[in-house]
Amino acid sequence: MNLTLRVWRQAGPDAPGRFETYEATDISEDSSFLEMLDNVNEELIGKGEEPIEFMHDCREGICGTCGMMINGQAHGPQQLTATCQLHMRSFEDGDELVLEPWRAAGFPIIKDLVVDRSAFDRIIEAGGYVSVDTGSGPDANLIPIPKNDADLAMDAAACIGCGACVAACPNGAGQLFTAAKVSHLNLLPQGQPERDDRTLEMVDVMEEYFGSCTNMGECEAACPKGISIDFIAMMNRDYLKAKFHNRRTA
């Protein structure tokens, strides 16, 4: 399989960017998308040229670092698939692929296809944890949890923080990520003591970096883990409740 790649190249956050064209030749259709980029980079290095910078780690769809726009779609054309899980059989011989970094004000470009997603870290630092005593692990059945709540919490916890939801949103909103991180704790008994503070603090930090949600639904469509926008509604409900509780107790 032979492909033409138009890749966004940018030396640094303040440097001007541009598209460069590269040829990817003799690519196996069983290769992953990142393996294809590895092959291109090996050829560039062999020519003494600067390789394409892109993020990757686990390459198993778990860490979320591999995200990029492929022909205008976050993670590429295959739904419920991270870039590292995308295989070249999803494309045709002779295709032209346009590769871009996440385009969002909350994710400033570092270099080429690499963006700074530390805004997500700030949101987690604000309240994405449970302040409980640690020690020996309790028995699994010690705290009864309704199955529906447990299932919803697991669905929310599936978020890998890749940022596709932000990149796909016309407003550059971070509500789906934040809602998933808020909800997977708010749904469980261990998360109840800090529920109000967690929701208020994480939403407040989110609003510093990202745009407003207008329920476009692109975030859910782009999410490689299929996180539902229902979690955004749950977060908004918890946020209003927390505001009311704080006013009542002030």
Q: Which is nearest to 205 in space by CA: 148, 132, 125? A: 125
CATH of 118-249 given 1.10.1060.10, 3.40.50.300, 3.20.20.70, 3.40.50.720: 1.10.1060.10
Cα angle, residue 73 at apex, residues 162 and 89 outer, rounded to 5°:
95
CA angle 87, 160, 240 (to 5 degrees): 140
Give the tens place of pLDDT for each residue, 207-247: 999 999 999 999 999 999 999 999 999 999 999 999 998 77
**pLDDT exceeds cutoff 90 at 2:** yes
Q: Which ranges in the chain are annotated with CATH 1.10.1060.10?
A: 118-249
Give yes or no for residue 136 having a pLDDT over 80: no
Phi first, then psi: what are they for 68, rounded to 5°? -160, 160
Pairwise CA distance, residues 73 & 167, whole Å: 9
Cite the residue boundaries of each domain of the chain with CATH code 3.10.20.30.
Answer: 3-110
Q: pTM to 2 decimals?
A: 0.93
| CATH fold label, 3-110 | Ubiquitin-like (UB roll) (3.10.20)
Mean pLDDT of 17-21: 98
pLDDT in tens, 36-95: 999 999 999 999 999 999 999 999 999 999 999 999 999 999 999 999 999 999 999 999
Mean pLDDT of 181-205: 95
Query: Who contacts 176 (Cβ-Cβ below 8 Å, separation ≥6)?
Result: 159, 165, 219, 220, 223, 227, 229, 231, 232
